[in-house]
Amino acid sequence: MYRSRSARSASFHDPGTRFAESERIEGAGSWDALEWTKIEPISRSVSQGIKKFLLPAEQVIVEGNGIVLVNTDEAGTLFVTNFRLLFLSEGSRDIIALGTISLTTIEKFNKMVMKLPSASRHSDKNPSRRLLQVIGKDMRIIVFGFRPRTKQRRAVYNALLKWTRPTRLWDLFAFVSGPLMFCNMDPKVRLLNEYFRLLGLGTYHASMSTIEDVSFTLSNELWRISSVNFNYSMCSTYPFALLIPKSISDDEIQQACTFRARCRLPAITWCHPGTGAVLARSSQPLVGLMMNLRSNTDEKLVAALCTQFAGGQRRKLYIADARPRKNALANGAMGGGSESSSNYFQSEIVFFGIDNIHAMRESLARLRDYLDTHGTTSSDGMSSFLRHGGWTWGGGNLSSMSASVSTLGDTGWLIHVQSVLAGSAWIAARVALESASVLVHCSDGWDRTTQLVSLASLLLDPYYRTIKGFQALVEKDWLAFGHPFSDRAGLPTLSGSGNMPSELTRQVSVGSISPLRQMSGSSASQTQNSSHGQNNCSPIFLQWVDCVSQLLRMYPCAFEFSSAFLVEVLDCMLSCRFGNFLCNSEKERQQASISDACGCLWMYLADLRASEGSLHVHYNIFYDPLKHGGALLPPAAALAPTLWPQFHLRWACPSEAQVGEVEAQCRSLTKRFSDMQQAKETAEARMKEMSAEMKSLSVDLQNEKLVSSSARDSAKRANRECVAIKRAVQSLGCKVYISTDGDCSVGIESNATEIPQNSLYTPSRHEKEGSFQLDDNSDHSRSVSIMPDDPPESPFTQVCESLCPMRTREGGCRWPNAGCTRLGSQFVGLKANFEAFDRLSIFDSYFESQ
């Protein structure tokens, strides 16, 4: 039952996309009932608004307007750039994440033409619907609807044909964008540093000069770093430096490699720092069809992995073959096979039964179809609650719901994940509990072997459960040991030949909405089944990261990184935005100068985390390194995987994918607590500053008090002296006049009854000219102003000295203790009878205070 038109999104009723009222279809119908010919293009230009969403070096190739994202019923503009498909919403002008996918993440895409049933009375009025289905490697199926007769779908399709599978390595966006701000240190240096850590030589730090001088061949008591493959002449898919037993020479290494497929001889990938047990990896031995070929050097090398215990007892060796036993036997027809325990001393052969890359690819495709069928944002635009006429998923009855659950089991994905988890846990238990050494291999030793060895190392070593350690683990076991990322992702290699899956050929489906879903399921599976030899694409790394997420779910306190960090790593790997996961081996990446020409994923992630510190979403807020400081050994009963919501459900069931609401709430509370703690620290720092300022001000205030007290004492002394002088002058028959402005006038009269004139002495014109003389007949009364004596050359001082009756002929003073010069800035007007001064007898008692 199709949805009615009223159930459609409001985006179709936006003013920018209008339907003529007279031409609307009457009655209920599906999204097919839209009259695409009547959709008018958006009036405003979107090209200018897209620039703020583009990455550096990203350029728009094709632009399509009036396009509908069928999954969510949203209308907008679709852009094809040299990096991704970018869908911009018509209403919000924001990027719609579901409709935005990097070009290298697209697994396949198909043109589709859908018609209404012939019985419909509107079939003659409505043309066919132009659809484009895009299937991604990240579990999403997108369908875009185009307006007919606009040739927009053809332009987008042709652009995708050219840019989703470039024929040359240099055409990938990682080379176009360049390193920019995410420059990459040579991964060889990081590999050597990891080797030094494993050998217990953490004080050594590698550099480019260490590699150029080949001075990295260090060792401990048991193991050594060999440069036998320095130029990749022995094995082109192995790293330039190998960790091997110390007792094995380089010549023996070269002889032993010929007995292993692709010369991938047994090499140590992890060693226990306490017991001496090791994890080693290799490819299958070339025992031949009859399983009777042997190699003495290979047997010696494998035996050297099992060092003796302290008591002289030799440790046990397990040889873990990741393949099913029948597959191992079948490989004998091509010269391969598996070891015989009788040829390897004290060894035991174990088969894990993990399927090959083709089974994993088809399993993921079935899981993707299952999620699209039963999700809320299905590619046909219909919710799973409404499919098949029911009101809930699966048809609304118990039997059909059980059938849907069985469909999930039939995908086989969770079974494959459980097989990898169980094999890795078994290996970790042998190393941790028995102190045994384990040699792991499959056919070529770069797919299932890498999954098992790296996951077992993650369980054994807490360092690999940190962000820095996880990076070292990926670079060592996945990149350095030659997992073919380009082949598994269908990308071009250094030689320019990339996998071009046959699914990329044009496929046209005509019919109802049901074949739209079947194209990505049954018909596509048939094509894949017929092209195993040509298609080597497989989600091996994705499956391993899924296993890591299962461990993170089981041990939420054991990992420093979060599930969001794992999703970010996967997205960056699939998008080819950075160069870390390009090419098939370390040798190819070195020849292509990946580290110099492309940006580094790890630097990009570190830059993201630096913005928020420990509160960034990539950090696990429940991480407690003390709680799980040793090996993680999950029991078999706990190895029951579930769908990874943050990755598997984020497109089909976006609301249910946010299962980490508790984590988000804890992160929010932690952030609030951190902000409050930071505010508290800021307030405490401010309080300390204010306390220091208050202390400083207190000291200054104390000093000011001392100065003020000293000034008051000086003022009191001056006041006492002034009072004493006043009394002394008054005792001479003088009157002291103090004006309101501070001037002091002293009048000295020859007649005590005569009131002195309060006037200031002003020199006459003759006195100004220096011809001052005393007239005997003139009045002996003078008006004298005494000025401050700071400058000795002051004319007032000279006048005062010339008129002073106590001045001797020799220039001295008859009254030295009078302190007449202490009057400072006061002006003293003297109207003196000099003969009276001569008759007076002055005593110091006059100057004592009352």
Give the distance, in angstroms, between the CA of residue 336 and the centroid of all CA atoms in the same chain. 45
- Distance from C-alpha of 268 to C-alpha of 8, rounded to nearest angstrom: 59
Please state, in angstroms and rounded to a whole number, the distance separating the CA atoms of residues 693 and 684: 14
**Angle between helix 563-575 and 601-612 (nearest 10):** 140
List own/partner pairs for 77-83 with CB under 8 A and 24 or more apart: 77/42, 77/46, 77/50, 78/144, 78/156, 79/50, 80/156, 80/159, 80/160, 80/163, 81/54, 82/57, 82/58, 82/163, 82/173, 82/176, 83/55, 83/58, 83/173, 83/176, 83/177, 83/575, 83/577
**Which residues, in sequence order, are CB contacts of 823 under 8 Å at separation 6+?**
725, 744, 786, 788
246 contacts 223 by C-beta, under 8 angstroms: yes
Q: Burial of 3 by CB count in 10 Å (0-12 exposed, 13-18 middle, 19+ buried)? A: middle
What's the one-letter identity of residue 303?
A: A
**Burial of 166 from C-beta contacts in 10 A (0-12 / 13-18 / 19+):** buried
How far is it, in rounded angstroms, from Cα 63 to Cα 79? Answer: 5
Conformational region of residue 501, where left means phi above 0, alpha means psi within -120 to 50, and beta covers everything else: beta
Determine the Cα–Cα distance for residues 554 and 638; give it in Å rounded to an integer: 8
Tell me the three state secondary structure of residue 124.
Answer: coil
- Which run of H or of E encompasses 242? strand 242-245
Report how far residue 256's alpha carbon sits from residue 145's, in angstroms, rounded to the nearest whole number.
59
Token pair for residue 454? Answer: 């790296």
Residue that the structure tokens 């300022």 belong to: 693
Helix runs in 287-333, H state only: 296-304, 325-330
- The DSSP secondary-structure symbol of 813 reads B
Distance CA 563, CA 537 (A): 25
Q: Are 54 and 545 in contact (CB under 8 A)?
A: no
Write out the catalytic residue numbers.
442
